[in-house]
Every structure is written in C-alpha cells, then in structure tokens.
Chain A
Amino acid sequence: MKQWLRLGRLVPLFGIMMLGLIGCGNEQISALQPQGKGASALFDLMILSLAIMVVVLVVVFILFGYVLVKFRHRKGDDSIPEQVEGNHLLEVLWTAIPIVLLIVLAVPTVITTFDLDVSEKSAQATEEGGEPAEEEGPMTIKVTGHQYWWEFEYPDQEVVTAQELYLPVDERVNVELSSADVIHSFWIPSISGKMDTNPGDKLTNKMWLHPEKTGTFQGACAELCGDSHALMYFKVKVVEREEFDAWIESMKNTKFDDAPSEVAQGQEIFEQNCLQCHAVGDQGGNVGPALTGFADNDMVAGIAEHKKENIKKWVNNPQEMKPGNNMPDFNFNEEQLDALADYLMELETAE
C-alpha cells in the first residue's frame, strides 16, 4: 500500500516532465513542438508510449530501491538466506501485465501506421470531401535527394526548385521521394516524420505533409550519405494558399533573360560556366540545384547566411564549405566573381 502512495506522489512530477518535453528545442526543427498533422500524431504516440514506460520505470525503480536497502548484507550476519526456487503466480503476473500494457500501445501504433500511409490518407480525404487544391486530390511534390542538396519538383505546376520547399498551409500534399545517388532520408521534424529516399525507380517512397502553421521550418537529411551528410539542410516555407499560388505563378513566368542589364556581365559568366548544370527560369540543366529565385533564398548552399561574401566563397571553393560535393572548383578572378555574385543576388522571380 505504501508503495502505491509513493507512486501517487510522482504523478505531478510526471506532468511537469511532460510539460518540460513540450517546448523543448528550437521550434523550427524540434519534434517536440509539432507544427503539422503528421508530427502531432507522432507526438501523441510518443507521449502515450512515454507515459506507459515511465509507469514501468517507476514501478521497477521503487521495487529495486526497496530491495537494495532492505536486503543488503549486514556485518556479522552469516546466516544463509532461504533458497527460493521461484513463484508461479509472480511469473504469470509479470508476464501478463506487460502484455496488457503492450496491447494498449500496439493498437494506436498500428492505427497511426496506417493513418500516415499515403494511400489510406488520400482515400479518406476524398470521402471527407475536403478541399484539395486540384480536383484529382492532393497536390504531389517530387523530392529528390542529391549529394548534398534537395530537389523539389511540382510536376502538375511544372516548377522545379531546390533547397527551399514551399508548402501551402492547412493542406495535405503528397510527397514522392527518390534519390539521384545514395540513400538519403527526408526529415522535417516539426511537420512530419522521416522517410528514406532510395535510388532506383522501383523504390520510390510516398508520404504526406500537412503543415498547420505558416512559417519557416528546418529540414534535414537523416541517413548517412557521405562527407557532407551533416550539411544537407533545407528550408521549408509554409505560406497561405494565395501566397503559394503567387509563388508558383512567378516561378513559372521567370525567364533566364529577365535579369536586369546591370548584371549582364555576371549573366554571361553564368551562361558560359554554370548554366549547363543549374537552371534559371526556362533554361539550364538539372545536374545541380535550380537557381530560379535564388535571390529570395534564406541560405547559400543550404548552410551559410545569404550574402554576397558567402556566394563568392562558395563558387570559388565549394569543397571547403561542403566537402565531397559534386560542384567543380572555379578559379574566377575577383572581378568575375563579383560580377557573378551580383548576378546571383539579382535572381528574382517574375512579378
């Protein structure tokens, strides 16, 4: 009985711990501050499992502490304790109770597993008659992991971008994940759980995202993918639907030739050296990240503050900032570098 009383005293402590967990870390990246439906569902499951497990911990620790204090050897006591073989009732008890606890955890686990699956969720959404953007259902975004950057393609809207994922708020979008080289893992902790991007057409993965708050969030690669695995961050920009539509529109309307004439020199350098890998507007290759609207990005190369200095640093020595990445070193002179950086700083999307 006494033990149960002691256990009761721990309940408020337990509540405080829960409150402590909520609000842990930076809200842009913490899984403990969910900002989307996926992350919320996972957070609830985490709290449920934690609650059950803390009960187990408390029971075991109290029992254990009691035994250690009560049954320690005392000096001069050479008697031999009773050699107990075991106790059937106890064995049954500590087999049965954990089974019950695990069933309590297993049921929501399985339900959530199916809830988070794309096919289930899409079907359910159609039944509910929600308000998906396109009439066929949720919008699809294709995510491709590269060493060490992220490509985001909006196939229906014919927009390709990199390193910054735009999402409309309060809407579910489906994501198709694949990789151009090794296995990466796509993770936006505050919006949803992670999923791997596998190489090969047959291993494309699907998941959904459903952000519930506007703002900028942090995404990361969670599967060891090479030397700069730790530098493979991306930004997630959750915006209102109108703003999203406007962004799509301006991305589509951006042309390579839109650049202002003051940076013509930089544009020429870009055309000769960079365009075969990096797309801008309607032109360019897809080996490197697309740079349409680069001027509005938060980061250079996903990791450095967006300023001219860092662009110059990156272009002439990309290996120093992101070891092992696939961009060749360019040995531009200072004047060329300035012109190029000026040009890149002017890469805005069409009005």
Chain B
Amino acid sequence: MSNAHAANKSVLWDWLTTVDHKKIGILYLVSGGFFFLVGGLEAVLIRIQLMNPEMTFLTGNLYNQVLTMHGTTMIFLAAMPIIFGFMNAVVPLQIGARDVAFPFVNSLGFWLFFFGGVLLNLSWFLGGAPDAGWTAYAPLSTTSTGHGVDFYVLGLQIAGAGTLMGGINFLVTIINMRAPGMTFMRMPLFTWTAFVTSGLILFAFPALTIGFFLLMFDRVFEANFFDANMGGNAIIWEHIFWIFGHPEVYILILPAFGIISEVVATFSRKRLFGYSAMVFATVLIGFLGFMVWAHHMFTVGLGPVANSIFAVATMAIAIPTGVKIFNWVFTMWGGKIRFTTANLFSVGFIPTFVMGGVTGVMLAAAPADYQYHDSYFVVAHFHYVIVGGLILGLFSGLYYWYPRMFGLMLNEALGKWNFWTFFIGFHLTFFPQHFLGLMGMPRRYFTYPEEFGLGSLNFISTIGAVFMTVGTIIFIINVVVTHAKGKKVSGDPWDGRTLEWAIPNPTPHYNFLQTPLVRGLDALWIEKMAGNKKMTPAEPVGDIHMPNNSILPLIMSLGFFIAGFGFIYYSSAGAPALIAIIVGLGIGLACMFLRSWIDDHGHHLHKEDLLKEDKGVDA
C-alpha cells in the first residue's frame, strides 16, 4: 500500500488488483500453501487406509479420488505455485529490476491458476473428484463415469494456461530486465534455474494443453482420439502426457536446486563452487529432460530398441546432477557453515536428494524397471525427489527469504523443530516404501492381503506420515507466532551475497530507488568486500515508471472459470451449460477487448516523494 492513489481503497481491493510482483509472489505462496495443506490431508487419509492390511477406512472409488487429487493437487496446485511464488518474490530483485516484464500478465497468470485450482477442488462437493490418477491414462479417464475427470481436464487447462503465461513472463523478464552489468554469467543461480524452468514450461506445457484438449473432446464432445474401438490409440495419451510430464519433474526440481545453491553459499560464507559448471549442468538437465519421457513407459511395450535408448539417455542425466551435488559439497568445503533453519533444510536436502537420484538411476535400467514400475519402489523414488528434494528446498527458501518477503524473521527454535520432525518423518514414511515395492506391493492399491507380509513396513510408513504432519503443523504455528510478535529485521539479515539483500526492509514498492550497477557474480558481496555500504548506482535518482493495478485479470479468469463449468456439464446438462460457456467466454473476451482498447500507461513516482520516502526508511 505504498502508492498514494490506492490509499483510499480497501486493502482487499489492493490485493485483488495488484500487479506488484512482490504481492503476487505472496498470493502464489499463500494459495499454494493452502493447496499444500489440502494435498497433505489427502496424503494422511491414504496413509491411514494403508496403515494395516485389509482396512476399510477409504476404499474403491473414493480411494482413487483421493489418490488422484493428492497427486494432482501437490504437483499443479501446491508445488508449481509455491515455485512461482519464489520466482515472483525473488527473481526481479536478484536481477535488479523494478517489476517483471508483463505485470498485467503476471497477475492474470496467478488468477488463472487460482480459479483453475478452485474449479478442480469444487469437484469434491459436486458429485465426486477425478478418479483416474494424476496421469489420467485413457481409456480409464475417458470412460470414467460422473464429471470428476471433466473437472480435472478443465481445472488444469485453466491453471495450466496461467502457468504457461508465467513461464513466458519470466523468460522475457530475465532476458530483458537485468540491471546494467548483470550478464548471464553473473546471474545468481536461483535466477538461472528460474530461467531454465521457464524455458521448460514454454516447451512442455503446450503438449499438456493439447493433450487436455484431446481428452476434453473425447469426454465432452464424444470424439475418439483415445478409443481403440473407433480407430483411436490410448498410448498416444501416455506419450503426450509424459512429453509434458517428464520436463515437469525438472520444472519442479530446478528451482529447488537454485534455492539450495543460494542458501548453501550464503551460510558457508563462500562463493558457489564451480559456478559455470553449475549453470551448464542446469541447462543440460533441462535439455535432457525432453529426451527421456519414455522411461515412464518401459512396460508399455515400445520394444527393446526404444527401451534401451531411453534407458541410456535417462542414465545420462545422473551426470550433470552429480556435478551439482559435488559442487554443493565443495561450496561448503573450507567454509564457515552456519546451521540456521534455512541451511538445515538445504543440508538435509543434499543426502536425501542423492538417495532419490540413485534410485532414479536404478529405475533407468529399463528391464529392472519391469519390476519397479508402478510399484511402491517408484512411489518411494519420486517422493524422495519431490518431497525430499523439492519440498525441503521450498522450506529452505521460505526460511531464507521470509525476511525479504514479509520483513519478519521466522522463529529459529520452532524452525528447527519443524525441520527435524519433517525430515525424520519423511525418511520414516518413504524409505520403507522402496522395500514394499520390491516385495510386490503395486502402486495405487487401496488394500493388501495380510499374508503378503506388507503390514509392518506400511505401519512404519504411516507413523512417518504422522511426524511429517506434526512438522507441517509446527511450521504453521511458526508463521502465526512470527506474524503475531515476530521481530522486524534489517534488509540484510543473513549477510547476503546477492542483490535482493541490497534493499531496505520492508521492500519499497519500486524495489530499487536507483538501478544498481553489477560488477560481478554475488554483486552485493563484491561491494561489501570493496568496503561499500551500498550498491553502486547505475543511474541518478529520477522519476520511476510503475504499472497500474487492474481488476481485469481477476474478472477475465472468473469468465474462464464460468466457461469451465459450462464445458464440464455440457454433456449432461445441455442448454444451461451452453449458456454458461457463452457467458463465461464472453466475459473473458470482453476483458481482453477492454485491456486492448483502454490505453494504460501506468504512473510515475516523482523524484521528490521518492527521496523523502527513502530518507524515512533509512532513518
């Protein structure tokens, strides 16, 4: 609420219309956090059902709904938005920019994700959630009764459009809006990973969009893309899904790599070891990510030649990943490692991710995958990389950037409890699952007979889930405590190295009063070592041009949300659904028209006001 023209409007209105990357980052974080709790609750329900053999707590179709929504929610509605939250909150600051390249599109991306997520979750209250797994393999998904899978297709289509916009926005931002002197090879590693992730989004999400359109046409308009009886082919869906789905894995994990790189370097008080190798490894992982999708399909029957090629290509990814691990370890080598909560999560990430990585190589051995595939071994593997990798990375990022995002320091004592309960709980939950898979427990089973001897390991796994729940609750308590009586901190509480720590707290609306001049990697650290208290400015203080807030993104997304409902019910409701489609798309198109028609040049913050405000902050 720093700019004057919004002062007489309500706080709520400000949040609904904001185009400020810092506020959109918080919006992403809060809604992603909410969906994380929903997905976590679903995980707990799954673990309760599997606690003992032959339980009847959650069976059959309802179990399938919960497992589908757990996977879908965690990937699309929790992990992705939280990553976008960090990218929004941090990337413009790290490159010395005042906002992203397209602030309006940024806001639109958020609201599309939000309404898509809400639409998908409304299925719980409207006749049942999707039940064909987060992978929605046809023909199970095309023949699933009820509207669950329609909610899946439309909800994710809308959310996915938002993600694609966000990806393009960050590509443009990082290419065009770097401060003077910030060459590509001086960008902080988090910005690099955000850049590569955005590139992956640009190329991977269109495949998913097309796949969803085909699935939607099969379900809503009775097309036959995936119906073998009508000349279609169900395997096409698997290819389309995984051509998106495998890069998606790297879309998720690369930003975590970026966070770890920042946190480990900062808390070792050392420059990142082998920076250029790290950058190269990031790009290589992103590139190889498009070459390996069929390793999700080793048992589909693609033949020994295809299986061999994809097996070897998959193994190759281990090499750049290994480079990263060793560079992190050697960043710490010779450093002065401080075990703050942020760093604890990063330090916990490294061995955990190595374990997920080695099971990844084991899975890459195509024939051995005939045993692992769709068993609990795979479940263990991808939770090691997504929870043990990504989620630990996100927690690390939260504790690290919380002072930047909210101007408050999360409680360190609670943070350590948060880490240890979550970390121990995680290993307790997922380590036994490797063995369950090898002992013959297939994935997505709601029950298992007593005589197969799978009971005790499943019980341990459920105990672990309890610990993880406690860890998450401690985190929520930490957030509440921090906001109730947390201490305000300076702009640079960690002795930071990169530009986001060069600005005062709370972050001014315009980020940088003067665009900084970047003189090397770890720009702020360089100035500190040169004895400067501040960044050297690249420009004199002048008027700052900022974008105007707008309610249009929200209304436009609402339009698509309404149209989504129409499409979902089109096959059963007929005319009323058609009206919803027309009204919804009409609202969307009208907003697009207004956006194009009305010239919006933004506003200027004047030099005199800025100088007054700046003094106030400094004092």
Contacts and interface: CB of A to CB of B under 8 A. Distances in A.
B523 to A, nearest CB: 14
A25 B438 contact: yes
B534 interface: no
A202 B271 CA distance: 57
B361 A105 contact: yes
Given A25-B440, A67-B333, A223-B374, A183 B60 contact: no
Nearest to B334: A81
Contacts of A222: 299, 373-375, 442-443
A31 B366 contact: no
A142 B228 CA distance: 19
B139 A45 contact: no
Interface string A101-129: 01001100110111111001000000000
Nearest to B330: A90
B414 interface: no
Interface in B289-334: 299-301, 303-304, 307-308, 311-312, 315-316, 318-319, 322-323, 325-327, 329-330, 332-334
Contacts of B327: 86, 91
Contact of B273 (A86, A221, A231, A233): A86
Contact of B361 (A53, A63, A117): A53
Interface stretch (B85-93, B349-357, B463-471, B588-596): B349-357
Nearest to B440: A29
Contacts of A81: 268-270, 334-336
A29 B439 contact: yes
Nearest to A231: B447
Given A24-B435, A87-B274, A224-B137, A194 B440 contact: no
B371 A193 contact: yes
Contacts of A99: 319
Nearest to A106: B312
Given A42-B367, A60-B351, A193-B371, A205 B334 contact: no
Contact of B440 (A26, A38, A109): A26
A226 B323 CA distance: 42
B354 A225 contact: no
B429 interface: no
B493 to A, nearest CB: 16
A198 interface: yes
B370 A195 contact: yes
B370 A194 contact: yes
Given A64-B329, A85-B271, A99-B319, A32 B438 contact: yes
A31 B277 contact: no
B459 interface: no
B440 A200 contact: no
A98 B322 contact: yes
Interface residues of A, number: 97
Contacts of A28: 452
A49 B362 contact: yes
Interface string A153-177: 0000000000000000000000001
B123 to A, nearest CB: 17
B537 interface: no
A330 interface: no
A324 interface: yes
A14 interface: no
Contacts of A200: 228-229, 233-234
Given A94-B323, A230-B447, 12 more contacts: A41-B367, A61-B354, A68-B347, A71-B337, A85-B275, A91-B277, A109-B367, A114-B304, A194-B371, A203-B233, A206-B301, A233-B449
29 contacts: A25-B440, A26-B439, A26-B451, A28-B452, A29-B440, A30-B438, A30-B440, A46-B362, A56-B354, A60-B326, A60-B354, A67-B337, A106-B311, A109-B308, A109-B365, A185-B374, A194-B374, A196-B299, A198-B300, A201-B228, A203-B233, A218-B440, A221-B442, A224-B132, A224-B374, A229-B445, A233-B449, A323-B60, A324-B60
Q: Would you list the 5 A-B pairs with minimal beta carbon distance, nearest first?
A: A193-B370, A200-B228, A25-B439, A29-B440, A323-B60
Interface of B: 59-61, 63-64, 131-133, 137, 139-140, 143, 228-229, 233-235, 268-271, 273-277, 299-301, 303-304, 307-308, 311-312, 315-316, 318-319, 322-323, 325-327, 329-330, 332-339, 347, 350-351, 354-355, 358-359, 361-362, 364-371, 373-375, 435, 438-440, 442-449, 451-454
